[in-house]
Amino acid sequence: MQEVRDNEAWATDNGEIDVDNDTAAVNQDISGPSNVPPAPTMITSKRSGRTIRMPRRFIDYLPGTRTHLAHMPSIVRQQHAGISGNENEVPQSHSTSSPQPSPPPFDLPPQLIPFQTQPDMFGLYSVYLTRPTLAPEANSTLEGVTDAPTLDGACATPRGVHLGVSSPEISDDDLFGAFTNPSSALLMAWHYSGSNAKSATELNHLADFLCDPDFRQADLVGFNHARESKRLDDYLDGRSNPFHEHYSWQMSTVKIRLPNEKVRFPSETDAPELTIPGVYHRSLINIITRMFKDDVSLHFNMTPFHRYWNTPDNRTLEVFSESYASPEMVNAYKEVNALPRDPDDKLERVVASLMVWSDATHLASFGDASLWPFYLFFGNQSKYTRGKPTARACHHLAYIPNLPHNLQEIYVDIFGEPASSSTFTHLKRELVHAIWELILDGKFMEAYEHGIIICCSDGITQRVFPRFFSYSADYPENSIKFLGQRPCPRCLVQKTDIHMMGMVLDMKRRVTQERTDSLRRRQRVEEAQKLIFELGAPVDGSRVKAILNEESYVPIRNAFSARLADHGIDMFSLFVVDQLHEFELGAWKAVFTHLMRILYAAGGTAVQKLNKRYREVPTFGRGTIRRFHHNASAMKKLAARDFEDLLQNLLPEPHNTITLDLLFDLASWHAYAKLRMHTTDTLNFLDTATVILGQSVRKFYKTMCNYYYTTELPDEYAARGHREAALAAKKNLVSAAPGKRKVAGPKYKSLNISTYKFHTLGDYANTIRQRGTTDNYTTQPGELEHRHVKRWYPRTSKNKKTMVATMTHLEARERLIAKVVNRRQKTLESLPKHNARQRTSPSAHYHISKYPKCSHDIFAWIDEHDGPAIKNFIPRLKDHLLARLRGMDYSGDKHDFSDEDRNQVIIVNNQLREHSILQINYTTYDMRREQDSINPRTHVDVLMFSHENDDDRHPYWYARVIKIFDVDVWYRAQGATSAQASTRMNVLFVRWFGRDIEYKAGWSAKRLYRVGFFKHDDPEGFGFIDPDQVVRGAHLIPGFEHGRTDTQLGHAFGCATDDDNADFNFVDRDMFMRFRGGGVGHKVTQEWDEFLQNDGAVPSHEEEDIQLDSEELQQADVVDEAVDDEAADDEAADDEAADDEAADDETADDDDGDGSTPEDLGDDEENEIWIDEELDDGFLAREGYGALHAFDTVIPSDWIPPQFSAYLVLQAIHALPVYQPSTFVPAFTELLPLTPILLLRTPACQVLRASS
């Protein structure tokens, strides 16, 4: 491997080379798969009639610093009193290359003069609205973009993340003043950190605390936890401590008016009030002030910018990623700088970008204990930091109480009758907005209009304007009717038109019928309020509906509208898309559920085959693909990609092809929607994927849903029975003789595509264009933060009256104790490293341990093994070593060395050392540093760059790692009198895959690529490769429809079962981009981008796709709505449980609290199966998913990860005759359903033959 760095660029503009460019290709074949595909024709890549056995040279580009702004100190800002023309000149490039194209112009206030940086080694550059006084991205390092927990620097908490840790005004006396002594502080810090269940890992943490230099055993004489806790609470409550304003919680009371449909009042103010105490909240102004005074603000992006990419083909594309580099943030910055200034106001104006999450959660597995928090994040902070729980970037803003338990008694005392269900719902909505009015108080509105003057931690005084960037909320907050006829908070689409998602008319409606917080809407709400209070109209009565139902509003005064509408803020613009609930737990789950109904309707053993195949899917990565222990039909932990191969041969044609097409389209859409970095091109592809997905869903609905009579699944039937029994009990209708009750059978159930969750898929591309990628505002951070309150709950008395109050104390304690922990970590950084878990350098392309698993005498080892893999083992090994030692550039020709040549290579002591793990580092499409772990026992497959340039070319070659070796070699060059000093050389002994060129794959064919082994006795099927040539690990899903065999290698090696044919592509987002092209960080393979991106015809935007009968849609909708009203609460509870499991799944067994998991250093299969992905990529962890994982996000345990399922489903539905060779399908989309694989009819397994 050649590590590339541009010394000249580093010396001149500090631009460090980034990128590990690897893109993937998709065949351009258009014809789709037939019902009974022929035996795959496997080939090796050939050129000039000679077999190519070595991959193209791989150059590993390292991410790291962006273009440094030469005028700025590395981290310290200068007081910025004004902008002079000279200061804002675009810096001159030191490069001799032609100037980059100018970015699209945008309007700026007169005082803002754009400042443009120089392109970095990836071709990225930024255009700031004005010359920035602080640009944290200009000082990013390789360690700062390292995500894999096994890499050095990845688990370090970002500098200054813990509030106040290093603020100059906080001394050790202040920090330890809350405790009896430093030793007590350290013991309390251990108690409140980590898990409630103190495991062996937690015991090791305790030992670390006890070894701290500040710890004194004598200080703990008489230690008492209760006393220390009280002392800590008293300290935080005291107004003299430096943390008071930031840590103090306030308890307030709110009042809401009680309506009654039979009582008229002179005015609303004359209606009785319901007093609700126990509203715990914090001051927004205090949080903002403390954040900008803290050292964490040194890593805030104060000046928003546009980012552009100069592509290799000399185009300029806009790049969308971080929220602070989005048009929404740019507009907010221009707005606050356009506000009038006082003559003596020379302060720099910046925006505090507020991102709000709101969602209720259950606190325990049993019982009804729950909490409804408001969470606050800052969009000025990088999403890669914001997404890590250990960064503590989430601020608990408020805890929403429930309505009083004796509400009905109070209501009866006042009105003589209980409140109706609609009145009860109305009061819940009123409570939410009453609390928001409490938070958006006069102090906040003063700051909103005039800003807050804050002296930041670096001594620079700024005027900070709070602005809301996004609100991830539910129906009570967005003030529209649940299950209404116009269910979208962003447009006025009618429910009867939702099925048209992606059609031209639908996309136009989203613009022409955009929902706005107009004066007309507010006037109608006021009219409805008068009807309710002054005329005694029911809250959901016909007179109120006549006013509000046209646009599905509810009679609620929205707090955001009341406070911000006069300042030009449209509350509906704050409500962003929510991929977790809308797609993964919404549209995708609905499709998967219906596929299960079809399987049941089809009869036979299809469901059992599906379950079996899921369990046979190999694992991949640190939790990206885990072992499937549950039945897939129970919809536990499965993704769309999981279905593609799992559903093979399940259904007859044309149903098989239609289903596989849909699964591929679901997987593609999901992968695009979850990308953490978009360009203009990829967003255009997302637009296209949205159109195609809409067409596929309608075709599936028209064809499949009308053909099969589907009924409720067993779980759905049982759940309905539970709901009906509970409803009957509430209505006192339970029969005294339950044995005589009539029990109905499973009801007819079809796929409902007239849902808001399906409709919202059309909003993703434009939301990303306006606010950055979806991982900025996904609900996953909020779901992950729920883990904290769930951890606090067991430490409370569980008394509902005091539980929330206790949680506020626990939250404040943990924030202060986090300072103690961080101070200790900074102290330990100066001490000798004592961590037994060694991490590897992110700058190296690969790592193999210095210490082998075992050592063999090469001749004895060969004698112990037999089979074709060992044939000519030593000559082939020496050929490989000799070519590397001579520095021969590979030209596609086989090296034919003589015995005399081979004798120049001497293996020292004939020793062949074997290793268990190879760790491959790579740069992702979004320029982050990641790592794959290769283990010959479990994670065995790798991909390398190909050396192909013919019409049927493909960017990658694939191999299965049989053994990982290293040898010490003496090399005596020809003519030399003695050998050079011995050299250690690492070697991978592999079995090559060949690609099936007869199988139509790629985006045009809507199928994953297929690869397979050579015939087992073919000597060209085995070889050696330099670990430096490996690009990434590959996840190959068995092609179950082709059968399996475990005889391919004889008994020579105890490696994984030989599944000769496999599909791949969508394992994670990075893999998806390697096969789709256009990744900014995939610098090496950008030459393939045009080839890859031209695969897949652009769909027609004419509305000639499947037209659906309104009666059919209404039938499905009526069936669903009959259950929706009675099951709304149950569905919400199910979704909430899935959310929690999604978050828990993402960070299971996290040993350092940031979503990362123990590194894969051992040879234990168990460790490699459950290790989770790092949180930030899936956000939470990785972020997700599929056959070659493109799904990096959290996988809830009660649904199938879309990316993975889609892949299996695509494969599974292919019908093949018995005794066809096995195949692998490399998965490149995280969304492809794996279900198809399960449905194959052919159990046969035969040796795969390579083409001549």
Contacts of 100 (CB under 8 A, 6+ apart): 119, 123, 125, 308, 310, 316
Return d(Cα 219, Cα 197) in angstroms, integer: 26
Nearest to 1051 by CA among 871, 912, 869, 917: 869
pLDDT in tens, 122-137: 999 999 999 988 877 7
pLDDT in tens, 968-1011: 999 987 766 666 788 999 999 999 988 888 888 888 899 888 88
Reported confidence tier of residue 1112, pLDDT bands at 50, 70, 90: low
Q: Is the dihedral of CA 866, 868, 874, 880 positive or negative?
A: negative
The DSSP letter of residue 465 is E
Other C-beta atoms within 10 Å of 597: how many? 23
Token pair of 305 as six digits: 């910018």
pLDDT over threshold 70, residue 460: yes
Return d(Cα 645, Cα 1061) in angstroms, integer: 11
Return d(Cα 1224, Cα 1245) in angstroms, integer: 12
What is residue 86's predicted lDDT score, i.e. its pLDDT? 37
User: Residue 1055 to residues 955, 1050, 1062: CA-CA distances in angstroms?
Assistant: 27, 11, 16
In sequence order, what are the beta bridge partners of 678?
A: 320
Q: Considering only 164-173, 845-854, 856-865, which range has the smallest mean pLDDT?
A: 164-173
Three-state secondary structure of 830-891:
CCCCCCCCCCECCCCCEECCCCCCEEEEHHHHHHHCCCHHHCCHHHHHHHHHHHHHCCCCCC
Indicate the angle between helix axes 225-237 and 182-192, nearest 10 degrees: 100
**Most confident among 380-394, 691-705, 827-841 (mean pLDDT):** 691-705
Q: Which amino acid is at 1238?
A: L
Helix/strand/coil for 125: strand
pLDDT over threshold 70, residue 665: yes
Other C-beta atoms within 10 Å of 1104: how many? 9
Higher pLDDT, 235 or 875: 875
Q: Which helix (H) or strand (E) holds 807?
A: helix 803-829
The DSSP letter of residue 1004 is T
Name the pairing type of β-strands 2-4 and 59-61: parallel
Burial class (CB in 10 A: 0-12, 13-18, 19+), 220: middle
What is residue 1052's predicted lDDT score, i.e. its pLDDT? 46
What is residue 539's predicted lDDT score, i.e. its pLDDT? 94
Return d(Cα 550, Cα 1175) in angstroms, integer: 43
pLDDT in tens, 315-351: 999 999 999 999 999 999 999 999 999 988 989 999 9
Share of the chain above pLDDT 90, in %: 38
Token pair of 1035 as six digits: 């996840």
Mean pLDDT of all residues in 489-495? 95
In sequence order, what are the beta bridge partners of 970?
A: 906
Reported confidence tier of residue 202, pLDDT bands at 50, 70, 90: low
Return d(Cα 484, Cα 22) in angstroms, integer: 47
Residue with tokens 């434009």: 766
Higher pLDDT, 659 or 31: 659
Return d(Cα 1177, Cα 1146) in angstroms, integer: 10
Residue pair 231/813 in contact (Cβ under 8 Å)? The answer is no
What is residue 195's predicted lDDT score, i.e. its pLDDT? 60
What is residue 381's predicted lDDT score, i.e. its pLDDT? 95
Return d(Cα 517, Cα 1147) in angstroms, integer: 39
Contacts of 1034 (CB under 8 A, 6+ apart): 941, 942, 943, 958, 1064, 1067, 1188, 1226
pLDDT over threshold 50, residue 1102: no
Higher pLDDT, 599 or 111: 599
Higher pLDDT, 1113 or 291: 291
In 477-586 the beta strands, taken as DSSP E runs, fall at: none
In 1151-1222 the beta strands, taken as DSSP E runs, fall at: none
Token pair of 1067 as six digits: 């394992």
Q: Considering only 472-486, 692-706, 1178-1192, which range has the smallest mean pLDDT?
A: 1178-1192
HSE of 284 in the Cβ direction (CA atoms, 13 Å)?
Answer: 31
Other C-beta atoms within 10 Å of 1244: how many? 17
What is residue 1084's predicted lDDT score, i.e. its pLDDT? 84
Q: Considering only 17-26, 96-105, 716-725, which range has the smallest mean pLDDT?
A: 17-26
Residue pair 617/1059 in contact (Cβ under 8 Å)? The answer is no
Return d(Cα 241, Cα 261) in angstroms, integer: 52
Phi, psi dihedrals of residue 504, rounded to the nearest 5°: -60, -45
In sequence order, what are the beta bridge partners of 931?
A: 921
Return d(Cα 954, Cα 277) in angstroms, integer: 66
Contacts of 19 (CB under 8 A, 6+ apart): 61, 62, 63, 121, 122, 923, 927, 1080, 1081, 1082, 1083, 1084
**Most confident among 86-100, 898-912, 1087-1101 (mean pLDDT):** 898-912
Return d(Cα 1111, Cα 1105) in angstroms, integer: 18
pLDDT over threshold 70, residue 111: yes
Phi, psi dihedrals of residue 779, rounded to the nearest 5°: -80, 0
Higher pLDDT, 356 or 792: 356
Q: Look up the pTM and report it.
A: 0.79
Task: List, as one string, the DSSP characters of 671-724.
Answer: HHHT-SSEEHHHHHHHHHHHHHHHHHHHHHIIIIIHHS--B--HHHHHHHHHHH
pLDDT over threshold 60, residue 254: yes
Tell me how far the alpha carbon of residue 670 is from its chain's centroid: 11
What is residue 203's predicted lDDT score, i.e. its pLDDT? 54
Ordered alpha helix ranges (H), 326-399? 327-337, 383-386
In sequence order, what are the beta bridge partners of 374?
A: 358, 398
Reported confidence tier of residue 629, pLDDT bands at 50, 70, 90: low
Name the pairing type of β-strands 1061-1065 and 1009-1013: antiparallel
Token pair of 753 as six digits: 């595509």
Residue with tokens 């112990």: 864
pLDDT in tens, 35-77: 333 443 443 343 333 344 445 555 667 776 554 444 443 434 4
Residue with tokens 């909240």: 281
What is residue 104's predicted lDDT score, i.e. its pLDDT? 55
Higher pLDDT, 89 or 852: 852
Mean pLDDT of all residues in 1219-1229? 37
pLDDT over threshold 50, residue 576: yes
What is residue 219's predicted lDDT score, i.e. its pLDDT? 74
